[in-house]
Copies of this chain bind each other. A is one copy, B any other.
Amino acid sequence: MAEKTSYNIGIEPQNVDYTLRERVSSLCNNILNVAGTDAQRKGFGVDVLGRKGHSWVLSRFAVEFDYRPEQFTSYDIATWISDYNRLMSTRNFTLTDGEGVEFGRAVSQWCMLDLATRQPLDMTTTADMHSQWMVDCPSPMERPRRVAAPSEEGATTFLHRVAYSDIDFNRHMNTLRYIDLMVDMLPIELFAEQRKIRMDINFLREARYGEVLTILCADRGNGEWLFEIRSGEHSVCLRAAFCFV
């Protein structure tokens, strides 16, 4: 059995918002970078998979932050894969501040995709390379929930054309920018005070350079917000739920 692996992260001025605390999108970006770096170091990153015509694709992602840490502080992200089945590999994270307090956690669920057919691969036959890295420790929070479509009635909408600065090496919209677009539709006052945040995202289809996205945002009351991002009229790219306590 393998052990959890830890990565240290420093918070720079470009990572914080007007409260001098790290933005949610930056926290999530660091978590996903740790996933990529850890897979690469252990020999099952997108570099190795790419040579076989395969890739990891993020399917579901959930995070919880008890607070958002301040500029010029640093924290550790510990990560481990707890299990996988035919369709999904589950990678977990905990975030621990300089005082040793766990202030955040995340669960990500990944499919392995055949890049030629764009179909998911059966991981019980293809993912042997990562089976030695399983850690006997459960996910640190409730796994990502299935997010319902928001009701269009009363929802606010925002249009955005996927631009050069939004895309990654695949010319697909990157996750950081999806989160920024959604957070930008929330009342800015939500970030003025320290609140516990939970966010669940279901990724359904990648948005590509030049596509025009519609972001729907529905306020469900009690600090709950539902989002849907569509390309064109009907094609849903992702759904997300934010919860502020």
Chain A interfacial positions (CB closer than 8 Å to B): 12-14, 16-18, 20, 23, 25, 29, 33, 36, 71, 163-165, 167-171, 174, 176, 180, 183-184, 186, 188, 191, 209
Query: Are A18 and B171 neighbours in the complex by a CB distance under 8 Å?
Result: yes
14 more A-B residue pairs beyond the given contacts A13-B168, A188-B209, with a C-beta to C-beta distance below 8 A: A12-B33, A13-B33, A13-B169, A14-B29, A14-B176, A16-B169, A17-B165, A17-B167, A17-B169, A18-B170, A23-B165, A71-B169, A164-B183, A165-B180
Contact between chains at A18 and B168 (CB < 8 Å): yes
Residues of B within 8 A of A25 (CB): 165
Q: How often does this chain occur in the complex, in copies?
A: 2
Which residues of chain B come closer than 8 Å to A170, judged between CB atoms? 18
* CB contact under 8 A between A164 and B188, given known A13-B36, A169-B20, A170-B18: yes
Report how far A171 CA is from B16 CA in the complex, Å.
Answer: 11
Residues of B within 8 A of A165 (CB): 17, 23, 25, 180, 183-184
A188-B209, A209-B188 are known contacts. Are A164 and B29 too (CB-CB below 8 A)?
no
Enumerate 27 A-B pairs (CB-CB under 8 Å) in ascending A order.
A12-B33, A13-B33, A13-B36, A14-B29, A14-B33, A14-B174, A17-B164, A17-B167, A17-B169, A18-B164, A18-B167, A18-B168, A18-B169, A18-B170, A18-B171, A20-B169, A23-B165, A25-B165, A163-B180, A163-B184, A164-B183, A164-B184, A164-B186, A164-B191, A165-B180, A165-B183, A165-B184
